[in-house]
């Protein structure tokens, strides 16, 4: 299974005429080289223009500096783009919130209607898998929303992780969510969760500690790559989460950020903002409440994740290329 998946060519893509793959990404995958998938919702909905485009370019550069190839994924003009040109990044960033936030369920609608679609964690995983990319870097995954025992609001990211064998490098669960319940759902879904670095704590996005112990831990990119390889060798058909704590110098005070989150969540409830509109609203409102501190932390953690993800991709490629 592992060998088959990681050696597949683009000729086997479903509806291959609808997939546009940049030459750089195509060559890397065909040669079993290191490739890192990147989502595009972080560009359209994660931060304001032009900071979003600048950050996206910097993240791609960081991946390249580790020796890997970045593959930002988005839907434009009725096609799935695996890897974006500089002009496409600019277009998506300038469209911003007008781009359709496309999770797995939205992909056929966005494609058929030729809408600009920014991929979430769930849809990026799905499309990365289709393209034969086994590793994906993002800021933080979605999860169980606060108050989900009444609303049943649980991110599709968790379901995708339970059925799509793509490793996700992130800074943990977005701290606007219920981290404890999210970890419980990931366990139920059979998703391997590992903290990357010298701590047994599961990180909390803006801050390094969530108060929850991580199920496992690795200290090196080589160890992480070995886990990904083992997942495929066992035909687990489920994803993995590698949670990377935000750099200490960029972390936000946990008490201050929890106060800001509580305020933003209460405001969202009062305004009736729920579903896929809630996360962008909360992130934007928290930036306002923290006077930009949370945005600076968000950018720092994404860049750090890109560095770690690029290093893991290189180690994974070494394993792939050693296969007959």
The answer, yes or no, to whether the previous bond of 50 is cis (omega within 30 of 0) is: yes
Q: Which of 60, 101, 160, 174 is catalytic?
A: 174
Catalytic annotation present for 160: no
The structure tokens listed for 171 are 């800074």
In contact, 131 and 13? CB cutoff 8 Å = yes
In contact, 265 and 211? CB cutoff 8 Å = no
Helical spans, DSSP H, in the chain = 2-7, 23-30, 41-44, 51-65, 86-95, 107-112, 121-131, 148-151, 156-161, 179-188, 221-233, 254-271, 278-289, 293-321
Catalytic annotation present for 39: yes
By CB atoms closer than 10 A (0-12, 13-18, 19+), residue 151 is middle
In contact, 158 and 229? CB cutoff 8 Å = no
Any idea which residues carry the catalytic annotation?
39, 174
């Amino acid at each position: 299974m592992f060998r088959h998946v990681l050696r597949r060519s683009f000729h086997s893509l479903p509806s291959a005429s609808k997939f546009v793959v940049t030459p750089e990404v195509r060559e890397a995958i065909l040669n079993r080289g290191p490739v890192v998938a990147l989502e595009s919702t972080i560009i359209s909905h994660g931060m304001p223009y032009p900071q979003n485009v600048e950050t996206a370019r910097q993240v791609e550069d960081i991946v390249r500096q580790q020796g890997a190839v970045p593959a930002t994924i988005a839907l434009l003009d009725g096609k799935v783009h695996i890897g974006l040109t500089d002009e496409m990044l600019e277009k998506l960033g300038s469209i911003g919130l007008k781009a359709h936030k496309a999770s797995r369920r939205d992909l056929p609608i966005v494609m058929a209607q030729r809408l600009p679609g920014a991929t979430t964690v769930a849809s990026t995983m799905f499309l990365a898998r289709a393209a034969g990319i086994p590793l994906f870097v993002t800021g933080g995954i979605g999860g169980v929303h606060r108050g989900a025992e009444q609303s049943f609001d649980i991110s599709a990211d968790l379901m995708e992780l339970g059925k799509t064998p793509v490793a996700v490098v992130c800074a943990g669960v977005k701290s606007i969510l219920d981290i404890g319940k999210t970890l419980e759902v990931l366990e139920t879904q059979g998703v391997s969760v590992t903290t990357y670095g010298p701590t047994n704590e599961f990180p909390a996005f803006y801050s390094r500690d969530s108060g929850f112990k991580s199920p496992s831990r690795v200290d090196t990119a080589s160890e992480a790559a070995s886990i990904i390889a083992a997942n495929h060798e066992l035909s687990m058909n489920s994803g993995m989460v590698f949670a990377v704590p935000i750099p200490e110098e960029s972390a936000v005070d946990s008490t201050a950020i929890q106060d800001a989150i509580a305020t933003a969540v209460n405001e969202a409830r009062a305004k009736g903002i729920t579903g896929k509109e809630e996360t962008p609203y909360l992130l934007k409102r928290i930036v306002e409440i923290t006077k930009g501190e949370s945005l600076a932390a968000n950018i720092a953690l994404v860049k750090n994740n890109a560095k770690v993800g690029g290093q893991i991709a290189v180690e994974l490629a070494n394993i792939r290329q050693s296969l007959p």
